[in-house]
A = this chain, B = another copy of it.
Amino acid sequence: MVRSRNTAATQTRKAAEHAVAEVLTPDVLLGWYSTMVLVRTLDERAWLLNRQGKAAILASSQGHEATQMGAVWAAVRYSPSLAIFPFYRGLATAIATGITPTEALLSILAKAGDPASGGRQFPLHGAVMTPKLKVINISNVVATQIPHAVGYALGCRMSGDPTVTMTTFGDGATSEGDWHEGMNYAGIYKLPVVFICENNGVAISVPQRKQMAIVNVADRAAGYGMPGVVVDGTDVMAVYEVVGEAVRRAVRGEGPTFIEAKVVRLLPHTSDDDDRRYRTPEELEDMKRRDPLKKFKEHLMEQGILTAQLDEQAHKEAKEHVDRATEAAEAAPFPDTGDFYDHVYASE
């Protein structure tokens, strides 16, 4: 894990590593691994459903899972309660927050039972609210969620609500004015926000060098008076550590942190995209070497925590789980149009 020159975060690093070691028992890590296998299996299934013409559109989180899951797990662990404003590539985020595979597929298939919007929105867009965990993604317009997250955190501070707010977005989002404005505001008022940039080096087809003149977008954090941290986003434990650190910083009232997680986008941008137009087979091969699932598996095997048998079992269970979920979601009804006009305004 590389850090940008900002050092505020570094000071608490030792403490964090200690805490991580304490928390991350082999059982916990095996649980993480199974969930990552489940998400990958679900993601592949969803892609298949799209190819079968059953799911209209899909943004895969393959390659982003370690960041998305590590971040949620750390945030849940270290904050009294959490509000997340994720972006559209958040299948792993969703599962980590407790959305079930069936719910995810209901959403992906635009069924009435979609827990986020009842089928009104793109998969997993809308809001899923529990007392301790709020997932809010009201649009797929890039970067608009940054000010939302900042405003939500402001509201929490005003009302004495100790919730920590987290928002995730891609490298592309950092080019938008809303990103700048939101970062600036959070910095001025030291709001309890954790900004997580899942930098996969590409915005659809536009490579990072055409998006910014710098290598680490985390270097911009200093200009907003907040720490900027670069982390290997394919390493779930590393992500867990730095996000945990940032969340505790937020809880202590020390303000926002910007985390740049370097990830890979293993599939095309969405199911509508064909990345062969702009990525070479070599690039794709290269990325596969950074597959977070593969990486985690190798790590756990090296450590003797995961065995081939446990791995096989995880995959088998995941497949069964996703099979059941698929069946349920496919059998579920589409929304009917009876409430089409509801929720434009508050009903009197």
- Chain A residues in the interface with B (C-beta under 8 A): 175-181, 184, 187-188, 190, 209-214, 217, 219-220, 222-226
Contacts and interface: CB of A to CB of B under 8 A. Distances in A.
Given A219-B223, A223-B219, A188 B176 contact: no
A202 to B, nearest CB: 15
Contacts of A210: 188
Contact of A223 (B176, B184, B220): B220
Contact of A175 (B179, B181, B212): B181
A217 B211 CA distance: 21
Most chain B CB within 10 A, of A180, A181, A214, A219, is at A180
Nearest to A224: B213
A224 B180 CA distance: 12
Nearest to A214: B225
A176 B182 CA distance: 10
Nearest to A255: B213
Task: Determine how many copies of this chain the complex contains.
Answer: 2
A38 to B, nearest CB: 38
A148 to B, nearest CB: 15
A225 to B, nearest CB: 3
Given A180-B177, A188-B213, A222 B219 contact: yes
A91 to B, nearest CB: 29
A209 B188 CA distance: 7
Nearest to A256: B213
A178 B177 contact: yes
Nearest to A181: B177
Contact of A177 (B176, B187, B190): B176
Contacts of A175: 181, 184
A212 B222 CA distance: 11
A114 B219 CA distance: 46
10 contacts: A177-B177, A177-B178, A177-B181, A184-B212, A188-B209, A188-B211, A212-B225, A214-B223, A220-B220, A220-B223
A333 to B, nearest CB: 42
Contacts of A184: 175, 211-213
Nearest to A174: B184
A248 to B, nearest CB: 20
Nearest to A182: B177
Contacts of A223: 214, 217, 219-220, 222-223
A209 B190 CA distance: 12
Nearest to A177: B177
A194 to B, nearest CB: 16
A190 to B, nearest CB: 8
Contact of A188 (B179, B188, B212, B219): B212
